A and B are shown apart, each in its own frame.
Chain A
Amino acid sequence: MTTLQFIFLIIVTSISGIGAASEEFQTHHPIISATLVGIALGDVTTGVMVGAAVELIALGWMTVGAASPPDPALAGTVAAVLAILGHVNVGVAVGIAIPVAVAGQLLQIVQLSTIEVAIVHLGDKFAREGNTRGIGFAHWLTAVPSALRVALPTALVACFASASFAQNMFNGIPKVITGGLQVTAGFLVVVGYAMVLKQINRKDILPFFFIGFLIMTFSHDMTLIALSIVGICFAVIYYLFLDKSATNAGGRKVRSRDGAAAPEASNPEASQSASPAVESTMDDGKKLTKSDLMKVFLRTQFYQVSWTYERFQNLCYCYCMVPILKRLYPEKEELSTALTRHMEYFNTNPIMASPVLGVNAAMEESMVHGSGITEEAITSTKVALMGPFAGIGDSVFWGILRPMFAAIAAGIASQGNLMGPIFFFLAFNIVRVFVRYYGLILPYKQGTNFISMFHGGEQKFVKAISVLAYTVIGGLVARWTTINIPVQLYSFVVSGKTVTTTIQDQLNAIMPNLLPLALTFFVYWLLKKKVKPTYIIFGLMFVGVAGYALGILG
C-alpha cells in the first residue's frame, strides 16, 4: 500500500461513512463501499466481488426509526481491505468483517448519542441567534465524526493487514478454517434472502418466489436483468388482474369509535392543514420562488447527516427549511423564532421527509400571508405526517426497493463485474431523486390534498413491487447460493471408466438447488422464531467450517 493509496482509502471510506449517516446515495452499502476500497487500492475486481458477497448477507439490514443494524459500510470496507491487502479469501474476509460490523454498530450508537448531540446543541444556539450560516455549519460538522467512524477503523485494519506479521498470521490460519469459511460464503447469503422474505411477509405471493427460483434453476442462459423484466411483467399483471384486495381502503376495515357523539371539528388544525397553499396576490417579497424550492431540494441531498439519538432529524429538517424561512422572515427576530420552532423533535424516513417539507413550506407561506394557519397547526401537521410516512418509506425504500436493486447488482457483480455496483447506484438514486423532487414540489402546490392522489392504492402498489422482489429473490436463491455435499455414495466401473455418485448428484437428480431452497426457508423459519440474525450468521459459519473439516461440505 503506497501513501497515495492510503490517502485515497481515507477519502473513499469517508464517503462511505457520510453515506452511512445520510443514507442518501447508498455509498455505505457494501457493494459500493467495498468497490470504492477496491478502486483506491488498485484492485477493483476483488473489491467488487467482496462487495457482492457482503451485500447479499446485508440485504435485510436497515435502519428503522432509531434502531440500527450492524454497520454495512464498515462490513464492506473492512472485508475489501482484508481481501486486497491481507490476501485472504472472500470467506475469511467476510468472516472477520461481520463481527467488525457488529462492533461498528455500537461505535455508531455512541457517536450518535454523544458527539453528534453536542454539535446539534451548537445548532440550537445558532437557531436562537437566527444565524442560518451557523445552522449549515453545525449540520455539515456532524459529517466529520461520521466519516471518521468508518475511515479510522478501516485505516487501522489496512495498516494491520499490510504488515508482514499479519500476512504471516493470515497464512498461518489453518486450511480447515479458510476453506470452511470460503464454503460458508457460498451459502451465508441465504440470511439476507430470508430477512427480506420475512420483512415483506406476504404468503399469498410466494408462488412468484418459486417461479423465479425455477426459471433460474432450469434456464442457464437467463440473466438476472432478464429475470427482473419477467418480474416487472408479473408485477404489472398482478396489479391489474390478480390483486383481489380492493383499493380505496374498501377491502380493509377502518373503524373509528371514540365513544363520543358525532366527530365534531374538534381539531381545527387538521382541517386547516388540508387546505392547499394560499396563492398570495400580495407582492411583499415574501412569496416563495422556484429557486427557493430548488435550494431546499439541493439541501435534502444530504438530509440525514445530522441525525442524533436525542431529537433525531431536528437539525436536518431545520437546515432544509432555511431557504424557505429566510425568504418568509426577513426580520432577524422572526427568523430566529421560526428556526427554533423547527429545531423541535422530528423523525421520519429520510426520503419521505421531502413531502413533509413541501407541505410545511406551503403552510408556512400561507401563514405569513394571514390565512389563519397557526404555528401549532404547522407543528401538528409535521407530527401527523412523520409517523405514517416513515412507515411507508421504510417498507418501500429499505424493505423492498433497496434489497431488490442490491440483490440484482450483487448477482451481476459476483464475478467482479463493475456494472453491478454501477447499476445499484444508478437504479436506487434515480428513484430517490425522482421522489425527492416531485415529493417536494407536488405537496408544496397541493398541501396535504396530494395524499388523496393515491386513492388508497399505495398498498396495492407495494404489493405489486413485492411480487417483483419475490421473483428476483427466488432467482438469487437458485443462482447465487452454493451448497455442495461431495460425500461419495457409490462408484462403479462402466467400460473402463470409474463413475462415482455423490449425495449432491442424488439431490440434483431430484431437483437442482434443493439445498439452497431448503436452507433459505430454514433460516426464514428461525427468524420467525425470533432468533437474532447475527446468531444465525455465526451459527452458519460454524456449520460451514465444521462441515468442511468433516468433509461433508465442499
Chain B
Amino acid sequence: MLKIVRLDERLIHGQVVTSWVTNESITEIMVVDKSVCNDELRKSLMSMAVPEYISILFVDVDEAVRTYEEECEYEDLMIIFGNPYDILEFINKGGKLNRVNVGGMSCKGQRRQVCTSVFADEKEMEIFREIAGKNVVLEAKMLPTDKSVDLTKII
C-alpha cells in the first residue's frame, strides 16, 4: 500500500527515520533521485540510517513510475522525492498521487519562505501550482504530530 509520498530535500534523515517510518508502519522506502542512484557513498549512508527491517529502493523517475504499483502490492511503501520537478514528472508519466507531504526545502539562492520549513523560488512555485492543478493536495508538515499547513491555499 502506498502509505505516504514525501518531498524532502534531505531525502532520508532524522524526521523520516524517527517519526514517519514508525508512525505509518513503513516496510519499504523508495528514494526517487537520479543523482543518488549513481552515488555509492550516498546510497550506503542512507541504508545505514534506516532500520534493517525496512528495505530501500533507489530509483529514477522512470523506474519509479514503472515499479511503484507493484511494490505497493507487497509492501507498505513510502516514496521520497528530492525536488518538486521530479514529482511533476512522475505525475506526467502516469504516476497517481492524491497527497504529497512537503517536509522541507532549504533556504538558498533566490528562494523565498513559503511556510516554516518550505522555501521555494518562482520556478518551483510554478511547479507547485501545476502539481496542485492536478488535484494533488500539498500539505507542509515536518512531523506526523505537527499541525499541517495546506500549501495549495498559500500558492
Q: Measuring CB to CB, which residues of chain A are less than 8 angstroms from any residue of chain B?
A: 62, 64-67, 109, 113, 198-199, 201, 245, 249, 251-260, 263-267, 270, 273-274, 309-312, 344-345, 347-349, 381, 383-395, 398-399, 448, 451, 454, 456, 458-460, 462-463, 530, 532-533
Contacts and interface: CB of A to CB of B under 8 A. Distances in A.
A391 B50 contact: yes
Interface of B: 10-19, 22-23, 34-35, 37-60, 62-63, 66-67, 103-104, 106-108, 113, 116-117, 142-146
Contacts, number: 181
15 contacts: A64-B19, A201-B22, A255-B55, A256-B57, A257-B57, A258-B60, A263-B38, A270-B38, A309-B117, A383-B10, A388-B49, A391-B12, A454-B48, A459-B50, A459-B51
Nearest to A460: B52
Contacts of B38: 258, 263-267, 270
A67 B41 contact: no
A347 B17 contact: no
A398 B18 contact: yes
Nearest to B10: A387
Contacts of B10: 65, 347, 383, 386-387, 390
A530 B19 CA distance: 11
A203 to B, nearest CB: 10
B45 A384 contact: yes
B107 A310 contact: yes
Contacts of B50: 391, 459
B52 A459 contact: yes
Minimum-distance CB pairs A-B, first 9: A391-B49, A394-B14, A258-B37, A387-B13, A391-B17, A387-B10, A253-B55, A388-B45, A345-B106
B44 A451 contact: yes
B15 to A, nearest CB: 4
Residue from A256, A264, A448 whose CB has the most chain B CB atoms within 10 Å = A256
A350 to B, nearest CB: 11
Contacts of B45: 384-385, 387-389, 451
A13 B7 CA distance: 38
B44 A532 contact: no
A199 B22 contact: yes
B59 to A, nearest CB: 5
A167 B116 CA distance: 41
Nearest to B59: A257
B130 to A, nearest CB: 24
B13 A390 contact: yes
A331 to B, nearest CB: 26
Contacts of A394: 13-15, 17-18
Contact of A392 (B49, B55, B57, B145): B49
Contacts of A459: 48, 50-52
Given A459-B52, A460-B52, A66 B17 contact: no
Contacts of B16: 391
Contacts of A390: 10, 13-14, 49
Given A258-B59, A258-B63, A309-B116, A530 B14 contact: no
Contacts of A310: 107, 113
A333 B129 CA distance: 42
Residue from B16, B23, B49, B54 whose CB has the most chain A CB atoms within 10 Å = B49
Contacts of A463: 52
A530 B48 CA distance: 27
A533 B145 CA distance: 8
Contact of B43 (A201, A253, A256, A395): A256
B151 to A, nearest CB: 16
Contact of A388 (B48, B59, B103): B48
A259 B54 CA distance: 23
A431 B51 CA distance: 22
A251 B63 CA distance: 24
Given A254-B55, A258-B60, A386-B10, A64 B15 contact: yes
Given A198-B22, A267-B38, 8 more contacts: A64-B15, A252-B47, A256-B43, A257-B59, A345-B108, A388-B49, A391-B12, A391-B16
Given A387-B13, A390-B14, A66 B48 contact: no
B106 to A, nearest CB: 4
Contacts of A311: 106-108
Contacts of B104: 65-66
A493 B103 CA distance: 67
A228 to B, nearest CB: 23
B49 to A, nearest CB: 3
A395 B17 contact: yes
B121 to A, nearest CB: 14
Contact of B52 (A66, A199, A251, A345): A251
A530 B15 contact: no
Contact of A387 (B46, B51, B144): B46
Contacts of B49: 387-392
B41 A384 contact: yes
A392 B48 contact: yes
B39 A66 contact: no
A310 B119 CA distance: 9
Given A266-B38, A267-B38, A252 B13 contact: no
